Amino acid sequence: MATKITLEEREIPRKWYNIVADMPNKPGPPLNPVTLEPAKPEDLSAIFPMALIEQEVSGERWIDIPEKVLEILTLWRPSPLYRAHRLEEALDTPCHIYYKYEGVSPAGSHKLNTSVPQAYYNKEAGVRRLTTETGAGQWGTALALACNFVGLDCTVYMVKVSYEQKPYRKSQMAIYGAEVIPSPSPRTAAGRKVLAETPDSLGSLGIAISEAVEDAASHDDTNYALGSVLNHVMLHQTIIGLEAKEQFKKAGDYPDIVIGCFGGGSNFSGLALPFVLDKINGKDIRIIAAEPAACPTLTRGVFNYDFGDTAGLTPLLPMYTLGHDFVPAGIHAGGLRYHGAAPIASQLLRDGLIEAQAFTQLGVFEAACLFARAEGIVPAPESAHAIKCVLDEVDKCKEAGTSKTIVFNLSGHGLLDLGAYDAYFAGKLEDYQHPQELIEKALARLPKVPA
Ligand SMILES: Cc1ncc(COP(=O)(O)O)c(C=O)c1O
């Protein structure tokens, strides 16, 4: 049995899969935060190009990937599907464990799958500069590289705690030509407000999004790009799961369990959505989102309309949320510190088509090290949440005396996250469950618009 199941370049999927066409209950529309009416294309066009707005609201099942985008994607795609023989041996399990490895992208994670089309459509629309936020630094790196490929300027607001913990991410973004600003920053009204109230704020993705959106909305030649959550981002990431299904055909196998870590939902959805279609069509398959207990959006949040950012500049989205002004603890998986969740994944969770589990960080780092020692790849701390979930499912199989086929998304490598591993080895990391009273406080400030 092969270790790497690969596809030829010519086998790369040429269309993205839009699950909205097949969902039994469609996600509700984004709402204009002032009128509370469904947002109109004009509401979004201050910061997004029309091609992406069209994808955001599209009900078409299949959407063509432009040739120019495919050309760039083939720098690293199709990505390999690995059969984790050595991990199976280390765990002494009859389970078949597979992982789709997205760390082979030059940016180091799955994020380049959407930054490339987003940069492409903006360039086509005549935009000069893109702004964005980044948590772990992976999204900022991916957008910086995509902007460099298509010829756009790029400004990245980086969550301050990550900016300080991950200096080499800044270097990589600088190599690709981006400007990187620690957030909250004095550059925007949203940043200045947070700094006035909390001068030593660690920042959060919500705050950084407010800054990037404000910057884009106040400059005519500038648009904004979001690395997760929105429907068009989920769409672009489905290339992961579409490839994986072809690879499973080649392997003569099919998963019983599909797992992805969950921040805003893009790598999880990218792998999972093509399999959710099979589940909608009657396949008996479990699909699990693995989130941090320090930021338990899916397992302890509520389903409601909420802002995507902290300052309340974005349209309201129907999603599981911990409240838009929720500031999570500074856990090292910076990319999972987001208060909300993709409306598509939120609706699927509500409908029982996917499930969610939360994990504390010590177990996650232990799982990451076990994986690295067996398979060699140092996983991103975000991706390691999926690995911890896999190990728990293998344990459950052991107890039940069963064997399952499990696939997870190894969304990125952790070679620029070694500071977090050092902190783990030095005993500086603690398990943290976000306190219920803080969640309730944040939820009390939700917009009064049930989803
Ligand atoms: C490697 C990696 N995996 C996962 C995530 C979480 O984001 P999402 O849930 O959108 O995949 C991030 C976010 O920065 C990341 O860098």
Q: What is the pLDDT of residues 330-385, one digit of tens each?
A: 667 666 878 999 999 999 999 999 999 999 999 999 999 999 999 999 999 999 99
Burial of 125 (0-12, 13-18, 19+ CB in 10 A): middle
Please work out whether the CB of residue 261 comes within 6 Å of at least one atom of ligand 1.
yes
Contact by Cβ (8 Å): 112, 105: yes
Determine the residue type at 161. Answer: V
Residue 424 CB less than 6 A away from ligand 1? no
Across residues 14-23, what is the average pLDDT? 98
Beta bridge partners of 5: 81
CB of residue 136 inside a 6 A radius of ligand 1: yes
pLDDT given for residue 165 in this prediction: 81
Q: Write out the residue range of the structural domain in which residue 322 sits.
A: 67-108+231-444
What is the residue-averaged pLDDT of the chain? 95
Q: Residue 382 Cα, ligand 1 centroid: separation in angstroms?
A: 6
Beta bridge partners of 412: 109
Q: What is the mean pLDDT of residues 401-429?
A: 96
**Domain count for the chain:** 1
CA distances in angstroms from 206 to 201, 226, 248, 267, 325, listed in the order given: 12, 11, 37, 19, 7
Residues 273, 238 contacting (CB under 8 angstroms): yes
Q: Strand 15-17 and strand 302-307: pairing?
A: unpaired
> What torsion, rounded to 10 degrees, do the Cα atoms 231, 237, 238, 241 define?
-140
| Residue 356 covered by a domain | yes
| Rg value, the chain, Cα | 20
Q: Is 115 in the pocket of ligand 1 (CB under 6 A)?
A: no
Structural domain includes residue 271: yes
Please give the pLDDT value at position 334: 64
Residue 159 lies in a domain: no
pLDDT score at 330: 64
Q: What is the mean pLDDT of residues 316-326?
A: 94
User: How far is ligand 1, taken at its centre, from the CA of residue 402, in Å?
Assistant: 31
pLDDT at 449: 87
Average pLDDT over residues 83-100: 98
Tokens 């232990």 sit at which residue? 366
Query: Is 361 part of any domain?
Result: yes
Q: Is residue 212 part of a domain?
A: no
Ligand 1 centroid distance, CA of 37 (Å): 31
C-beta 135 within 6 A of ligand 1: yes
Q: Are 12 and 78 in contact (CB under 8 A)?
A: yes
pLDDT tens readout for residues 263-302: 999 999 999 999 999 999 999 999 999 999 999 999 999 9
Instruction: Give distance in angstroms: CA of 299 to centre of ligand 1.
Output: 18
Which of 243, 235, 300, 263 shows the shortest CA–CA distance to 102? Answer: 243
pLDDT category of residue 304 using cuts at 50, 70 and 90: very high
Ligand 1 centroid vs 381 CA: distance in angstroms? 9
pLDDT reading at 220 higher than 80? yes
pLDDT at 187: 97
Q: What pLDDT shows up at residue 114?
A: 98
pLDDT at 135: 85
Which among 252, 254, 336 has a CA at the least distance from the CA of 294?
336
Parallel, antiparallel, or unpaired for β 405-410 and 179-183?
A: unpaired
Q: Is residue 427 part of a domain?
A: yes
Spatial CA neighbour of 288 closest among 259, 320, 325: 259
The answer as to whether 349 is a domain residue is yes
What pLDDT, on the 0 to 100 scale, is given for residue 161? Answer: 87
pTM of the complete model: 0.96
Length of the chain: 451
Domain assignment of residue 59, yes or no:
no
pLDDT at residue 433 is higher than 90: no
Tokens of 10: 């010519």
195-207 pLDDT, tens digit each: 999 999 988 888 9
Q: Which helix (H) or strand (E) holds 383?
A: helix 381-400
When pLDDT is cut at 50, 70 and 90, the band that residue 238 belongs to is very high
Distances in whole angstroms, Cα of residue 69 to Cα of each of 19, 73, 310, 365: 21, 6, 32, 35
Q: How far is CA 205 from CA 157, 197, 281, 339, 433, in A?
A: 9, 17, 36, 8, 19
For the record, the structure tokens of 394 come out as 């293998």
Query: pLDDT tens digits for 110-148?
Result: 999 999 999 999 999 999 999 999 988 999 999 999 999
What is the domain-level CATH number for residue 331?
3.40.50.1100
